[in-house]
Structure formats: C-alpha cells, structure tokens
Structure 1
Amino acid sequence: MTQAIVTLCTCPDRNTAEKIARLLVDGALAACVNILPNVMSIYSWDGKVESAEEHLLIIKSSTQNYQDIETVIISHHPYELPEIIAVPVELGLPEYINWINSCHASK
C-alpha cells in the first residue's frame, strides 16, 4: 500500500483554489481537497516582510500521485514560487487512509 500524504498549498484567491482543487479531484490525483479561506500569511520575499490573505488547500492523496499533483499546481498557479509542501500521514483511521489510497485507482 502506498503512503498517504497531506499536501499544503496556498492560493491568492478562491477561484484559483477551487480550480486547482477540482483538477486534482476530477483527475483522481487527490481523494479530497479542503479549502480554508482567509488565511493570513506573513512571509519573507525578496528581502522584505510581506503579508497576504490567501486560501489554503489541504490535499489528501497518496505518495504515488505527488509528482502529478505538483505538476498540476505549478501549471495552474499564478505565483512565481507556489507553496507545495507534502507531509506523510503517520496515523489515521485505517478506513479513511484506505479510501485516500483507493481514489487514484478509480479513474
């Protein structure tokens, strides 16, 4: 069985977030994508401290799909350097983890 992962990605607006989320789920690359609106990000960019209100994608998938997820995000994201961070799921309800891992096989 492949490892389940959660990938985080911030988007500048709801339309971008929804577009990427739908591409990932419709393409069977992610079992589920949550969109959290109104996330305030404070970050360093080009030597300055910046801030922006963003939408956070929480993408549940398997490691098997990570490269394709990264490709979709990069292809449809307006940022020069989008946040794409994947972390392994160490524990979780076994049935839910099995569902995440089975979603890529459904298409």
Structure 2
Amino acid sequence: MKIDYCMVITTTPDREEAEHLAEGILENRLAACIQMADIRSFFLWEGAMQKEDEVVLSIKTTEARYSELEAYILEFHPYDVPEIIKLQVTGGLPGYLNWLDSTTGNEKQGSE
C-alpha cells in the first residue's frame, strides 16, 4: 500500500514560536493544516530531568512535502534538536485528503 499523507509532530517553547513556525510552514505550502495545543513535557536532556511548558504542533501534510517540511523545521526551529516525528496516515475522508493535495500543491490527476 502506498502512503501519500502524514502528520508531523513538533513542539516549541511557547505560543509565539509555534505561531511563527506554523505561519511559515503554511505560507510555503508545506502543509495544509496545523493544530496547536499547550502541553507540559517531562523529558531527559543531557542527563537531567526537564519539566517544561511547550506548545505541540500537529502538522497535516503529504509525503511529497515531508522532506521540505523537515528541512524548514530544522532551519527555523528554536531548539538545537527539535522533535520531528512523522506518523503515516493510512486512510481518511477522500475529500479531506484531496484538500491536503490541493493545498500543498500536490494535486493528483482527477482531483478537484
């Protein structure tokens, strides 16, 4: 089965950084939709327990745009090692998936 869509998860330190990153991603048509939520993260970093408020971004895009999206996040993200996790989307409402294609500039033949 060919996978054409994915959701990318990343986190930022605050809402301002999240919105700045999201706007750049959308302006460059690297995704069709980005949702944000405030979270509290617990993680180990450089051998120490960290507890930080963050904003998680759920980025909906196509496999065709993933590499450019990853490069964009790496270039503009404030963290030295940002979380970038790609989840494959194996199904969804056809109209929504067509919208992902058209919004990211990946229209398939026969898509409206």
Residue number in structure 2 paired with 1:20: 21
**Matched residues, number:** 105
Code of the residue aligned with 1:27 in structure 2: it is: N
Moved more, 96-105 or 8-17: 96-105
The answer as to whether partners of 1:35 and 1:58 remain within 8 angstroms in 2 is yes
Q: Which of the two has higher C-alpha Rg?
A: 2
- Between the aligned partners of 1:49 and 1:35, the Cα distance in structure 2 is 24
Deviates more, 1:80-89 or 1:92-101: 92-101
Whole-Å separation in 1 of the counterparts to 2:21 and 2:68: 12
Normalising by structure 2, what TM-score? 0.87
Across the aligned residues of Structure 1 and Structure 2, the Cα RMSD in angstroms comes to: 1.5
Q: SS of the residue aligned with 1:30?
A: coil
The runs of at least 4 aligned residues of structure 1 exceeding 6 Å deviation read none
CA contact (8 A) 1:2 1:101 kept: no
The letter for the 2-side match of 1:104 is T
Q: In the alignment, does 2:83 pair up with 1:80?
A: no
Equivalent residue, structure 2, for 1:91: 91
- Residue identity opposite 1:17 in structure 2: A
- Runs of 5+ in structure 2 lacking a partner? 107-112
TM-score, length of structure 1 as denominator length: 0.91
Counterpart amino acid of 1:89? V
- Who is 1:56 aligned against? 56
Tell me the SS of whatever aligns to 2:19: helix
Identity rate of aligned residues, in percent? 34
Greater helix fraction, Structure 1 or Structure 2:
1
Distance 1:2 1:29, change over 3 A: farther
